Amino acid sequence: MHMRTLHILGVGTFVCALVAAFTVAGHARQARTVADGVYSAAQAQRGAALSKAQCASCHGDMLEGVVGPMLAGDGFLQAWAGRTMTDLVDKIQNTMPLQAPGSLSRAQSIDIATYMLQASKLKPGQADLAAGALAQVTFAAAPRPAAAPAGGAGGVNLAPMANLAQLMRGVTFPNANIIFNVQVKDPGTTRPQQPVPFDYMLWGSTVYYGWQAVDQAAQALVETTPLFLLPGRRCENGRPVPVDRADYQKFTQDLVNVSREFYKLSQSRKQDAIVDQIERLNDACANCHKVYRDVGLAEGGGLGGDRCR
C-alpha cells in the first residue's frame, strides 16, 4: 500500500509538472508584441486596398495623418503602447470610417490593422493574424513623455489622453460659446424651465444658468487652457502639439489672460460689458487658429488644413 501510494503521488507530481510546463510554454507562445511578425504580407496587402478606399481621405495614402491622426510610425505606436490588437481592431470596426461606423467587418478591420503595422515598418510573418489571437498581441510599452506634475495634488501627474482637437471640442469650444452667446441673449433675463420629457443636458442648464454659467465658463477657460501646453499631447492629425514654440505659448497665455478679463466683466452682470469686449475673445482664438489650425484655409476652414506644423 505504501509503495502504491508513493507511485500514485509520483504520477500526480509528474502530471502537475507536465501541465505547468505546457501552461508556461503556451503562455510564452501566445503572448507576442506587434513586432513579432504577427501578420502576413498578403493580409497587409488586403488591408492596404481597404485603407485606400476607406481611410486615406482622412488619414492619408501612407497613413501619415491628414485631418485624422497618423496611423503609422513612432507616433502611432506610442499612442497605442501597452494596448492590445483587440483594442485597435475594436476601434476600427466600431467607429470607422467616420461617416459610416460599423460598416467594416471584423475580418476587414483586422486586415486594415495589419496594414498599419506594415506601414509602421513592423515585419510580417508567415500566417494571417487571426481574430482569436488579437488579445494576445500587444503594442510594446514605450516610455511616455514626461508628465507635468500637478503641484500640491498629492503627487498626481498629468498625462494627455485627448488630442488637442478633442480637448478643445470638449472643453474650450462649449465654454467659449457660453461667453459668445451673451451677444445674442442677456444671461440675466430668463430662467430655463425643467425639460419635459426629462433630458440631462437641458436639465443641467436649469441648475447652473444665466450669469453663473458665464462666470463658470470664464473660469473653466482660465483653468483648462494651460493644458494646451501639456507635454506629449498631439494634434488631431497626429503631429506633436508645438508646445515649445514661443508664439504658440503666447497664444495660449493670451487666451488665459482674456478669459480672466471676461470673468471680471461677468461680475458686472451687464450684457454690454461683455459685448463691447467680445472681439478680444474672438481674436485670442483666431490668432492661434490662423497659424496652427487653418493653415492655407479661411478662418474656420474645416478639414484639410496643414495643422500644427
Structural domain of residue 185, as residue ranges?
154-293
What is 181-223 written as a DSSP string?
GGGTS-TTS--PPPPSS--HHHHHHHHS-HHHHHHHHHHHHHH
- In this structure, are 122 and 165 located in the same domain? no
pLDDT at 95: 84
Query: 309 lies in a domain?
Result: no
- In this structure, are 167 and 286 located in the same domain? yes
CA distance to 222, 277, 293, per residue, from 286 (Å): 17, 15, 9
Phi, psi of 234 (to 5 degrees): -120, 155
Q: Which of 104, 138, 172 delimits the end of a domain?
A: 138
Q: What is the CATH number of the domain that holds 219?
A: 1.20.120
Q: What is the CATH number of the domain that holds 131?
A: 1.10.760.10
Query: In angstroms, rounded to a whole number, what is the distance separating the alpha carbons of residues 73 and 81?
Result: 12
Task: Classify the C-alpha dihedral 62-67-54-109 as positive or negative.
Answer: positive
- In this structure, are 132 and 211 located in the same domain? no
Q: Answer for the pair 255, 93: CB distance below 8 angstroms, yes or no.
A: no
- Among 57, 76, 77, smallest CA distance to 68 is for 57
Query: In angstroms, rounded to a whole number, what is the distance separating the alpha carbons of residues 83 and 213?
Result: 39
Q: What is the pLDDT along the chain (309 residues), one digit of tens a residue?
A: 444 444 444 444 444 444 444 443 444 457 899 999 999 999 999 999 999 999 999 899 999 888 788 999 998 998 899 999 999 999 999 889 988 889 999 999 999 999 999 999 999 999 999 999 999 999 998 555 555 555 555 566 788 999 999 999 999 999 999 999 999 999 999 889 999 999 999 999 899 999 999 999 999 999 999 999 999 999 988 889 999 999 999 999 999 999 999 999 999 999 999 999 999 999 999 999 999 988 765 555 555 557 788
- In this structure, are 121 and 162 located in the same domain? no
* First-to-final CA distance of the chain: 82
Query: 303 lies in a domain?
Result: no
pLDDT at 7: 44
Query: Domain total for the chain?
Result: 2
pLDDT at 263: 95
pLDDT at 237: 86
